Structure 1
Amino acid sequence: MKDLMGKAIWDYYHNENPEDLQTETSISELDELPVHYLFRDFEEMNTIERKALELSKGKVLDVGAGAGSHSLYLQNEKELDVTALDISPKSIEVCKLRGIEKAVSENVLHFSEETFDTILLLMNGTGIFQSLLIIDIYLKKLHSLLNSGGQVLIDGTDILYMFDQDEDGGFYIPAEGYYGELDYIVHYKGESEDPIKWLYLDFNTLKNAAENNGFKIEMILQEDDSYLAKLTKK
């Protein structure tokens, strides 16, 4: 991994000629991702993010923390015990420089030091699951990291709207696999990451997977094609 996301976050924080990130998927064209978006404060976050942060309680694990904006709010404004977790080493370095007291560069599947009252997976948190073929592995891991009475707050997006419709309202979707399983590619300053698997999940598919892995699930909020869900242990 070239850690291009981390490089962009690092460049922006240190004001070292940052450029916007570019992202694309196997079903969408190149799109700009302004790096400053990853540094926004609570008032600049969307409704789903703000709701998740408002519901966060106790000891928190922020999975896919990025530049650490969610963790910073929870640590500084809500005075919660927060651990920022991300596979990007440079992102975690910036988290520490921004004042996050606990920040770890690690894949969540290999993180096993503690258990938590709240686990956050935001900004299409279902993406980390990669594929329906291995979603059980991730959900079992999250279950093991969660304290009794704890909660997983995760957002996702149903991308069915991105596919063409026929005259009867049906969608033209791939014959094989789940339509939300995409290849995701990041570009920065002329470099490109290798494609990674990224999973966009509709709520009912997440519900079925969660219930099969020892969770109860509740829809907290829906905004257009995106939603916030809360998972708790059965």
Structure 2
Amino acid sequence: MDDIIGIALLDYQNGRYSEDIKTFSSFDEEDTIPMPYLFRPFMAMPKLEQIALKKCSGKVLDIGCGSGSHSLYLQENGFVVTGLDKSSGAIKVCQQRGLINTVCSPILEYSGSQFDTLLLLMNGIGIAGSLDQLGNLLNHFKSLLKPNGQILLDSSNIIYMFEQDEDGGYWVPDNNNYYGEVVFQMGYKGLKGKSFKWLYLDFDTLQKYANIHGFHCKLVSDGEHFDYLAKLTLTP
């Protein structure tokens, strides 16, 4: 089963909400994704998401759009926005909620149009999966950006999840992998999804990789707990 999120979103959209999505990670932690949170209006969104939506300009591609909450806000405010997600269930929900432009595709397989803003919220840059794949994703973004376009993304530095010593340092396992690489699996109503990799980036690492691949990376705002909003633009 590879569309757990889509099944759950469709259930919620069509009045069949009875439980939330469960997540299991390589940190040996079990958590939940509350379904109502995925359908939140603008005023219930975190500060970083609100700032990002206010900074959108021109034609927008909402990458990993989920239920379409960000895209719908933009559409309602006059933007030409396309919601992209590889989950067919998510795209059906977006359409049912009134989103005009949708694409069901993995981002690396999508091409043929260019945008003024690429939007990746809810740690959307995590779709890179691992640090060694981040460059491929950034290079693909170049083909999707109009001249003078921008990428708006949020992410989190998950260093806080590791044990801290008396000197303020953190004990990070020496396994040759970047500490922000996490493996997840989702569960919903007795179904289990396939495991997938997700990437959490500290800002300094994002900035380093952005610079290597021809982007200027600016910190727009810090969040309340090790999270941040960043803006990437192509280096002249």
TM-score by length of 2: 0.96
Deviation at 1:129, TM superposition (A): 1.0
- What is the percent sequence identity of the aligned residues? 46
SS in 2 for 1:161: helix
- Partner-residue secondary structure (3-state), 1:133: helix
Report the equivalent of 1:5.
Answer: 5
1:211 aligns with 211
> 2:160 maps to which residue?
161
Gaps of 5+ in 1: none
Q: Tell me the CA shift for residue 28 of structure 1.
A: 4.5
1:129 equivalent in structure 2: 128
CA–CA distance in structure 1, aligned partners of residues 162 and 125 of structure 2? 20
Local SS of the residue matching 2:208: helix
Number of aligned residue pairs: give it.
Answer: 233
- Per-residue deviation, residues 132-185 of structure 1 (Å, max 9, x unmatched): 111111000111100111100000000000000122222111102100001011
Deviation of 1:17 after TM superposition, in Å, equals 4.1
Deviation string for 1:49-96 (max 9, x for gaps)? 0000000010000000000000000001x2100000001001001101
**Which structure 2 segments of 5+ residues have no match?**
none
SS in 1 for 2:29: strand
The aligned counterpart of 2:226 is 225
Q: Let me know the Cα RMSD of the aligned residues.
A: 1.0
Deviation string 1:100-156 (CA, Å, 9 cap, x unpaired) is: 000111011011020000000000122111101111110001111001111000000
Following the alignment from structure 1 to structure 2, what is the Cα–Cα distance between the partners of residues 17 and 233? 43
C-alpha separation in 2, matches of 1:152 and 1:28: 32
Give the residue type in structure 2 aligned to 1:132. Answer: L
**What is the distance in 2 between the residues matched to 1:171 and 1:217?**
26
In 1, the alpha carbon distance for the partners of 2:165 and 2:109 equals 44
- 1:95 alignment counterpart: 94
Q: Does 1:179 align with 2:165?
A: no
Partner SS for 1:232: strand
The 1-side partners of 2:61 and 2:18 are apart by 28
User: Following the alignment from structure 2 to structure 1, what is the Cα–Cα distance between the partners of residues 71 and 167?
Assistant: 45
In structure 2, what is the Cα distance between the partners aligned to 1:8 and 1:18? 10
What letter is aligned with 1:200? Y
| Distance (Å, rounded) in 2 between the aligned partners of 1:66 and 1:42 | 15
Whether contact under 8 Å (1:8, 1:18) holds in the other structure is no
Q: Contact (CA 8 Å) 1:58, 1:80: kept in 2 or not?
A: yes
Question: C-alpha offsets along residues 2-61 of structure 1, whole Å, 9 cap, x if unaligned?
Answer: 201010000000012442111121114111211111000000000000000000010000
Which position in structure 2 is the counterpart of 1:151? 150
Letter in 2 for 1:151: Q
User: Deviations 1:161-218 (Å, cap 9, x if unpaired)?
Assistant: 0000122222111102100001011111111112100000000000011111111110
For residue 227 of structure 2, what is the amino acid of its counterpart? S
Q: Distance in 2 between matches of 1:98 and 1:194?
A: 27
Contact 1:183 1:198 in 2 (8 A): yes
The one-letter code sitting in structure 1 at the alignment partner of 2:142 is H
The answer for the alignment partner of 1:24 in structure 2 is 24
Question: Within 1, Cα distance between the matches of 2:105 and 2:208?
Answer: 28
